[in-house]
Amino acid sequence: MQIWINGKQNDFESDSMKIADLVSILNLTGKRIAIEQNGEIVPRSSYAETQLNNGDKLEIVGAVGGG
């Protein structure tokens, strides 16, 4: 499966992945992130059931603290 993440093509062996699986693969579990799938924000509460499809375009951003 090919998924574009932040403008870069990534290839994954699995043909069936949820966003929660991808978060785990990318070692982002527990991080303060936001994910957009094909132009739509995916609520964190939906990561476990949101299916990824070949060719999806994701934007993943992390929260940065500061003052």
Range of the domain at 20: 2-49
Q: What is the pTM of this model?
A: 0.90
Q: Which runs of E-coded beta strand occur in 1-67? A: 2-5, 8-11, 17-18, 33-37, 40-42, 51-52, 57-62
| 65 within a domain of the structure (yes/no) | no
Token pair for 56: 């999806």
Question: Does residue 64 belong to any structural domain of this protein?
Answer: no
Number of domains in the chain: 1
Within-domain flag for 14: yes
26, amino acid identity: L
Measure Cα distances from 36 to 1, 49, 58 in Å: 18, 15, 5
Residue 66 inside a domain? The answer is no
In a domain, 7, yes or no: yes
In a domain, 56, yes or no: no
| pLDDT tens-digit series, residues 19-60 | 999 999 999 999 999 999 999 999 999 999 999 999 999 999
Statement: residue 67 has pLDDT above 80 = no
Is 6 part of any domain? yes
- Whether 57 maps to a domain, the answer reads no
Task: Look at residues 15, 16, 5 and name the one whose alpha carbon lies nearest to residue 56.
Answer: 5
